[in-house]
Every structure is written in structure tokens, then in C-alpha cells.
Structure 1
Amino acid sequence: MDQPDPTPADDTGTDHTIVPVRIEEALGAAAMALICLISFANVIARYATNVSFAFTEEYSVFLLVFMTFVGASAAFAGNEHIRITFFLNRMPATLQRLCELVTLLATTLMFSLIIYFGGRVTYTEWYWEETTPGLGNPTWIYTIWMPILSVAILLRVLGRGWARFRKGRAA
């Protein structure tokens, strides 16, 4: 009978990566710092002048989405994405590998759909010259990052899958 493989859930290393995960970490930290700075400046402005900055909500929402996608990319690279390891660790090794494969395929499908539909939305916004209601910026400037960062996530997912299922190695 197959023995449970203790390594998949415990494997959080990024040794297999070619592009360092520090890039995602730096981008996420920069986005968080900007959100904090914008929000703090808005609070000070409201307190001092009773008027709020108009751009804070628009930029903060964009930065939050950006930070989420960058964080997801780093999490997939380090095998730190959310999963139910309680059950996974109690399965035989072959079933663990099957679950990892199903996860890889489902994640690949989901982010491929985000790339496709996010690209269509971005193109439509660019084509019709849509602007944001608050500042009048072109909306495609914000939405273009969704397919771009989904490509980064997809590459991290496929890199993790390659490391996990490479012949003779249990990443």
C-alpha cells in the first residue's frame, strides 16, 4: 500500500524558480506602502480641511487588486496557496499526486480564463475609450494588469507543476 508523502504540503521552497520571487514581494510591498500612504494622506486632508482627495478610492482599489494578484503569484511559486492539508496529508502518495494534478489543471484553467476575458475587457475599454467616473482616467490602464499578472501567476503555477511532477523528483 502507498505510504503518505509528507513533502507536498510542507514544500514551501522556491528553489525551482528561475525568476526570483523577490520581484513579487517587492511589488506587493510597494503597493501596500502606496495604499497606506494614500489612505493616511486622505485622512490627514479630511481632518485638516474637511475635504477628501478624489483619487484615493480609485487608486487604492487598483493597488489592492494589483497586490492581490502579485501575492497570489508569490504564493503559487512558494507552494503556499490555500488548500486543505488535513486531508491531503492523510492520503496515499498516488492520491496526493492526483489531487496536486487536479489543482494544477483547475488553476491553469481559471487563470487562462482570466487572461482571455480580462484581455477582452481591457481591449473593449480601450476601443470605446472608457474613462473612470472619479478622475476621468482611461479604465484600461487599471484593467490591463489583470491579464498581465494572470500570465505571471500562470507561469508560477506551471513552474511549480513542472518542479512537482518532473520525473524522479517529488518537489
Structure 2
Amino acid sequence: MGSGRQRGQGMAETQENKIETGTQHTIVPVRIEEALGAAAMALICLISFANVIARYATNVSFAFTEEYSVFLLVFMTFVGASAAFAGNEHIRITFFLSRMSPGWQRVCEAITLLATTLMFSLIVYFGARVTHSEWKWEETTPGLGNPSWIYTIWMPILSMAILMRVLGRAWATFRKERPA
């Protein structure tokens, strides 16, 4: 029973490796996203810790902590998504994929890449519209009164970075599968 289970896992890994290309194909190192994500996480930790200390010592919390923490969390999510797509580590259901033939795996990979490209293209378009609208109407944040576009401009910018990583992943995946 154990050897059949191991044999099944080995087959799944073999089939999965046909799609996996790692980060060797990247021109821009993934370390950039990793460093930005780590910096955002460190800032969230520092801001939250300082707020807890201030609240404990003075019964007053810093007004900026929620606004900056939410922005940094969204920033970290987009940067993490970019790194995940570069390394083909994004969330997916491999239970079914590993049981498919290589041809169907390529079809599923193409559908995934197309759906991801469509979704982040829409985020670029609508995020840019929202950012422009906030800039045009000089909208400010309710907590600190900062211009809102300073926070929302990162959504289309980071979505473009994700799109570049997705397109790089598609190029590496389907170029690798061509016969030499």
C-alpha cells in the first residue's frame, strides 16, 4: 500500500515537472519582490508594535497605523503574487492536474495563464481609472487626510509587474515544451 502511494506521488511529480520551469527564466530577479515583501512585513510589524506600546503606555493609539498597515498589507500581497507567478508557485489544485495527460496539463496551464492575464489586466485598467479619479477630484483619506491616489496608484503598477511575470512564465513554459 505504501509503495503504490509513493509510486503515485512520483508519477505526479514527474508530470508536474514538465510544467515547472522555476525562476531560471527570469530576467529581473525575484529577489526584488522578496525584498519588497519582507520590507513591507517588517514595517507592518514595527508600526503595529509601536502602536501597541503607545496604547499601553498612554492609552492613545497612533492615528496613522491602520491606514499605513492596510496599504502595506495590500502592497505585500501584490508583491507576493508577483513572486509566486515568477516561480510558478501560485495557488492551484494539483490533485486533478497531476492525473491528467501532458496535453491536458498544457491546456490547463494555458487557461490559467489566460484567466490570470485577463484578471490582472482588468485590475490595471480599473485601478488606473480609480487612481486618476482620486487624483482629479483631490480625494483624501479619512484618517490622515493624505491624497488617496498615493495608495491606489500601486494597484495598477504592481498589477503590471504581475502581468510581466505571468507573461514571462507563459513564455518559459511553452517555449520549453517545443521540440528542439
Return the TM-score normalized by structure 1. 0.94
Structure 1 runs of 4+ off > 4 angstroms? 167-170
**Residues 1:46 and 2:88 aligned together:** no
2:123 maps to 1:114: yes
In structure 2, distance between residues paired with 1:168 and 1:81? 20
> Which consecutive residues of structure 2, in runs of 5 or more, have no partner in the other structure?
1-13
Contact 2:138 2:147 survives alignment (8 Å): yes
In structure 2, what is the equivalent of residue 131 of structure 1? 140
Distance 1:162 1:114, change over 3 A: same
Alignment partner, residue 17 of structure 2: 7
Q: CA–CA distance in 2 between the matches of 1:162 and 1:150?
A: 18
Kindly indicate whether residue 155 of structure 2 is the aligned counterpart of residue 166 of structure 1: no
SS at 1:37 equivalent = helix
In the TM superposition, residue 13 of structure 1 has moved relative to its aligned partner by: 1.6
Judge conservation of contact 1:5–1:93 (CA < 8 Å) in 2: yes
CA shift for structure 1 position 12? 6.2
Please give the residue correspondences for 1:27-38 in structure 2 after superposition, counting only pairs within 5 Å: 27-38=36-47
- CA–CA separation in structure 1 for the residues paired with 2:131 and 2:23: 32
Question: Does the CA contact (< 8 Å) of 1:163 and 1:169 recur in 2?
Answer: no
Identity of aligned residues (%): 83
Structure 1: gaps of 5 or more residues: none
Deviation at 1:5, TM superposition (A): 2.8
Aligned ranges 1:48-127 → 2 under 5 Å: 48-127=57-136
State the alpha-carbon separation in 2 of the partners of residues 47 and 162 from structure 1.
53
Report the aligned-residue RMSD. Answer: 1.7
Aligned partners of 1:129 and 1:138 also within 8 Å = yes
Q: Aligned residue for 1:24?
A: 33
Equivalence for 1:146? 155
Cα offsets for 1:30-83 (capped at 9, x unmatched)? 000000000000000000000000000000000000000000000000000000
Q: How many pairs are equivalent?
A: 167
Give, in angstroms, the shift of residue 169 of structure 1: 4.9
Conservation of the 8 A alpha-carbon contact between 2:23 and 2:87 = yes
Task: Provide the rounded CA distance (Å) in 1 between the counterparts of 2:161 and 2:107.
Answer: 24
Q: Which has the larger radius of gyration?
A: 2
Q: Residue by residue, what CA displacement relative to the aligned partner does 1:77-136 show, whole Å, maximum 9, x if unpaired? A: 000000001110100010000000000000000000000000000000000000000000
Query: What one-letter code is carried by the residue in structure 2 that aligns with 1:85?
Result: T
